[in-house]
Chain A
Amino acid sequence: MKSDIKLFIDGKRLDGRKSDELRKIKIEAGVLHRAEGSCYLEWGGNKIIAAIYGPREAIPRHTQNPLRAIVNARYNMAAFSVDDRKRPGPDRRSTEISKVISEALEHVILLEKFPRAAIDVNIEILDAEAGTRCAGLTAAAVALVDAGIPMKDIPVACAAGKIENQIVLDLGKEEDNFGSADMPLAISPRTGEILLLQMDGHLTQEEFDKAFDLALKGCYIVSDLQKKAILEKYKPILKEE
């Protein structure tokens, strides 16, 4: 998409970031009482709440798997999360994101421990500013740990993209709208396995490799923040006397 907006001013991006800098991230675990596990996450202008319910018996019954649990992620954007009111309810985009997040999470949860069960992951986007699927998955992962669900790893996601012929990390709103490519990536940080990789726009082979490496680097930064958030929530119970 061609635009009149200049996305780079004196080597700095619109919000003053360098090309390999992330937006500000704040993660808080265990914010909801009724949910088994929950997480509130702020990633730049994104505000997201993730809640875990279950494991519980999967309903309807035909969805049950006698050998393992199923993961039902539900990504939902609030009507007030974007500038123009979004028509509430599931649409093509949110159905797709729900599916890819479910599949990413299925790879890290030890599903064999809960045959016939379902784990419900609700991801609610309260405020959106590009990169909500990455932020949603990151929040869901923290909430799963908070719920005490056995996992092989804590998944994490981050995006990279291309604006004005330059590869940058973690696209902001204008960069996403007027840039030429966006590539969200989710990994399992312990093993480095890829859980989710999508791309929209065009990149050459070299650009792709560069963007991939950049996103990977971003993932590890966010992963550290996730772990810190969980430990911060549960450190106080260790206080002695």
Chain B
Amino acid sequence: MNQQKKREIVIPSQLLGEVKNKKAGRGTFVEKGLIYSEILGILDEKSDYINVVPIKGRYDPVVKDFVIGIVQEAMASSWLVDINAAYPALLHVNESPWDVDFGETEKYLNYGDSIMAKVLQVDKEKKLQITLKDYNLYKIKGGQIIDVEPSKVPRIIGKKGSMITLLKKYTKCRIFVGQNGRIWIDGNDVDIKKVIETINMIENESLSFGLTNKIEELLKKDAKDVR
């Protein structure tokens, strides 16, 4: 699709267009009928919208996102979990799969534990709630967690998961990509190393075209047996 379309970096306060012709999308603001960029990012002009995709920045939680969190604090009937957002997220015992007695939260999750979770609620004050009550959500045991820029996550997953399927196919790793820029990888050491290397490469070259094919060739070259 839109191959060879020129990509452009925009900085805050850069003039992008007029409200007359286009609609102001994400990462933009309108003043006196003119559309400006509000963040450092890459210009993305759809037919009638002007969006700016951020290059850097904190994870902005959206309901139903799958995230990887690290427990910060165990309280009497809830946990505080760091999900890489500006605020810690609350995980209430009712949202956990266990039957936790009052004051015994530490038996199940304690400081430093990692969990896969889903964002349950984001309110106006940006108070966050997450839940463990969904398919495939649990406490993480073993493996490794790496951090990437949250804005690069869509690229690592690929179109309809193409990139991540590729990674899983050529390495014998179990991979879970959280929308908040944390990636959990489990497998043997050699494979984990390869996955991390590949992900770093995807992150660095996230803007080049035909990246999926390039990565596939690379993985094919040193993969001995394909699952």
Interface residues of A (CB under 8 A from B): 36-37, 54-57, 66, 110, 114-117, 145-154, 189-190, 227, 230-231, 234-235, 237-241
CB distance from A29 to the nearest CB of B (A): 9
> Provided the pairs A54-B86, A66-B125, A190-B36 are in contact, do residues A238 and B56 lie with their beta carbons within 8 angstroms?
no
CB distance from A114 to the nearest CB of B (A): 6
What would 7 A/B residue contacts be, using CB atoms closer than 8 Å?
A37-B56, A57-B88, A145-B40, A149-B57, A154-B12, A227-B11, A238-B207
Binary CB contact string for chain B from 28 to 51 against chain A (1 if under 8 A, 0 otherwise): 010100001011110000000000
Query: Would B9 and A234 count as touching, CB distance under 8 A?
Result: yes
User: What is the bound-complex CA distance between A54 and B86, given in angstroms?
Assistant: 7
CB distance from A219 to the nearest CB of B (A): 14
3 smallest A-B Cβ distances: which pairs? A148-B57, A148-B56, A150-B38
User: What is the bound-complex CA distance between A142 and B170, given in angstroms?
Assistant: 42
Interface residues of B (CB under 8 A from A): 7, 9, 11-13, 27, 29, 31, 36, 38-41, 54-58, 86-88, 124-126, 204, 206-209
Query: Would B9 and A145 count as touching, CB distance under 8 A?
Result: no
Query: Would B58 and A190 count as touching, CB distance under 8 A?
Result: no
User: What is the bound-complex CA distance between A189 and B12, given in angstroms?
Assistant: 11
Query: Would A116 and B209 count as touching, CB distance under 8 A?
Result: no
Residues of B within 8 A of A36 (CB): 56, 58
User: What is the bound-complex CA distance between A97 and B48, given in angstroms?
Assistant: 45
CB distance from B137 to the nearest CB of A (A): 24
User: What is the bound-complex CA distance between A190 and B87, given in angstroms?
Assistant: 32
Query: Would B38 and A110 count as touching, CB distance under 8 A?
Result: yes
Q: Which of B12, B55, B56, B87 has the most CB of A within 10 A?
A: B12
User: What is the bound-complex CA distance between A188 and B116, given in angstroms?
Assistant: 43
Residues of B within 8 A of A115 (CB): 124-126
User: What is the bound-complex CA distance between A154 and B37, given in angstroms?
Assistant: 11
CB distance from B67 to the nearest CB of A (A): 17
> Provided the pairs A151-B13, A234-B55 are in contact, do residues A146 and B40 lie with their beta carbons within 8 angstroms?
yes
> Provided the pairs A115-B126, A230-B40, A238-B7 are in contact, do residues A151 and B12 lie with their beta carbons within 8 angstroms?
yes
Residues of A within 8 A of B208 (CB): 239-241
Residues of B within 8 A of A231 (CB): 9, 11
Residues of A within 8 A of B13 (CB): 151-154, 189-190
Q: Name the contact of B86 in the complex, choosing from A117, A145, A235, A237 (C-beta under 8 A).
A: A117
CB distance from A170 to the nearest CB of B (A): 23
